[in-house]
Structure 1
Amino acid sequence: MDSTFWAFIALILFFCLIAYLKVPAMITKGLDGRADKIRTDLEEARRLREEAQQLLAEYQRKRKEAEAEAEGIVTAAKREAEAMKADAERKTAEYVERRTMLAEQKIAQAEAGAVAEVKAAAVDVAVEAAEALIGKKMSGATSGDLLKKSLAEVKARMN
């Protein structure tokens, strides 16, 4: 009996001990537990991935809605700005037109006043000239009264 035989016997006893202690069953049980844990982890990861995709889709939808709303706000603001610009231009044009009409009225009044002054000055000159002419041709107290009366009449008609 040599050492090879005893090594063989020890090997057989080792295998019997392993079988008696159910080591393969424990290994199988451990591997099955680990496989189950991996399977549950994969299912949890799949579930989390689906939730993440749903959240992503929801956030993308919300982002698109927000972009559409922002675009609507910008469009409304542009429309409102254009309306305000048109209103301001209209009001400016009306203001300029009113100021122009007021200036034209003032000019017309000034012209009328100047014409009236020129007429009054012409009447005064004409009256003085007439007074001088009549005064030379007529003499006496009655002629002076007649002259004053005539001048008063002419002035009354001119005004």
Structure 2
Amino acid sequence: MKKLLAIFALGASPAMAASGKPFFSLSNTDFVVSIGFLVFIGIILYYKVPAKITGLLDARAAQIKAELDEARALRDEAKALLASYERKQKEVQEQSDRIVANAKEEAMTAAAQAKADLQTSIARRMAAAEDQIASAEASAIRAVREQAIAVAVAAAGDVLAKQMTAEGASASIDAAIKQVEAKLH
């Protein structure tokens, strides 16, 4: 059927009407070219070139399909890998945010502790300074009292020495001894 269709197509070509020579003559170049074309088509069909070309095209289509499938698989794998890396990045970001938050919290805690320690230290130093001041004040008061007592004793001794007679002195000494005895027992 294909052969008849090809012959009719060639028979109805403009080559048939192109020249005044008979078409089926070897001197007609159109006829020779048509014969050569038909022989060429015949050889191609005899050796099943269209089937081979179709087979090669089918093989190429299958290869392209396989490459597309592989590309889709690689794309899916790349998407999965990208999603995995994005999850890991998100986890790392969250972890770093937690670390920063913990560091800030620890810094605030350390600052509050340092402030409390400083206030405690200042309070201790103030208490120590107040104790030293009170001690120095008590020491100064004691020294002034001792000095006043010494001056008073010396003055009293001078006054008593001037006013006292030998009998008054011995009575005074006896009274002092009795007083000491009473305090010791």
Amino acid at match of 1:89: K
Aligned partners of 2:102, 2:131: CA distance in 1, in Å?
A: 43
Question: What are the residue-to-residue correspondences of 1:63-142 with 2, within 5 Å?
Answer: 63-139=89-165, 141-142=166-167
Q: Which moved more, 1:94-103 or 1:144-153?
A: 144-153
Structure 2 counterpart of 1:24, from 43, 50, 53: 50
Structure 1 pair 30–46 and aligned structure 2 pair: CA distance change class (3 A): same
More helix by share: 1
Query: How far is 1:149 from its partner?
Result: 7.6
Q: Aligned residue pairs: how many?
A: 152
CA distances 1:128-151 after superposition (whole Å, capped 9, x unpaired): 112222222234x44455667889
CA distances 1:27-67 after superposition (whole Å, capped 9, x unpaired): 11111111111111111111111111111111111111111
Extract unaligned runs of 5+ from structure 1.
154-159
TM-score by length of 2: 0.73
Whether the aligned pair in 2 keeps the contact of 1:18 and 1:24 (CA below 8 Å) is yes
Query: How far is 1:6 from its partner?
Result: 2.5
Whether the aligned pair in 2 keeps the contact of 1:134 and 1:147 (CA below 8 Å) is no
**What SS does structure 1 have at the residue aligned with 2:89?**
helix
- Taking CA–CA contacts closer than 8 Å with sequence separation of 6 or more, which of the two structures ends up with the larger relative contact order? 1
Structure 1 pair 42–15 and aligned structure 2 pair: CA distance change class (3 A): same
When the two chains are superposed, the root-mean-square deviation of aligned CA atoms in Å is 2.2
Structure 1 residue ranges (4+ consecutive) displaced by more than 3 angstroms after TM superposition: 141-153
Higher alpha-carbon Rg: 2
Extract unaligned runs of 5+ from structure 2.
1-24, 180-185
Identity of aligned residues (%): 40
Q: Which moved more, 1:3-12 or 1:92-101?
A: 3-12
Structure 1 counterpart of 2:84, from 50, 58, 72: 58
CA distances 1:51-107 after superposition (whole Å, capped 9, x unpaired): 111111111111111111111111111111111111111111111111111111111
Structure 2 counterpart of 1:49, from 58, 66, 75: 75
